[in-house]
Amino acid sequence: MTAPTPNKASILLAHGSSDPNWLAPFETLLQRIRGELSDSARVELAYMELAQPTMEHSIQQLAEQGFQVIDVLPLFFAAGRHLRKDVPAMLEQQQQQLQHQGYDITLTLHPPIGLEPEMASAISQVVVRKLS
């Protein structure tokens, strides 16, 4: 590393799909979000399953680059089995692995963005526009 990296990074976590058409809008969204955040903010896009990069891969890379606080923001509509069981288990296991590798790291899973008020408002706007 040639420059000090900030301590905190974020991962936008999408479900993932084997269909590249499913992935494309998320890539576009990542570029938009990066453009709206300050240059020093580190944001990655990763997938829970079926696509690359995986969440585990992104976390490992960020740990190796010196990030110590990693926030995972799920781009999901709601929290079902994946966000209540699968992803927390993956994060807990990886946090332990990283600690065994000597990394002092904290992984935090946030609630799905679908539960935020902006999202309900946007979904409602789109549906009302399409049905009116």
Q: Which long-range contacts (CB under 8 A, 24 or more apart) does 27-31 make?
A: 29/75
Q: Hey, what are 22's tokens?
A: 């499913």
Nearer to its own copies, 33 or 53 (CB): 33
Residue 97 beta carbon to its own copies: minimum distance, rounded to whole angstroms: 25
CB within 8 Å of 79: residues ≥ 6 apart: 111, 112, 115
Which x/- pattern over 26-45 shows residues binding its own copies (rule: CB under 8 A)? Answer: x-xx--xx--xxx--x-x--
End-to-end CA distance of the chain: 55
Residue 22 beta carbon to its own copies: minimum distance, rounded to whole angstroms: 3
Site residues for its own copies per CB under 8 A: 10, 12, 14, 17-19, 21-26, 28-29, 32-33, 36-38, 41, 43, 71, 73, 75, 77-81, 84, 110, 113-116, 118-132
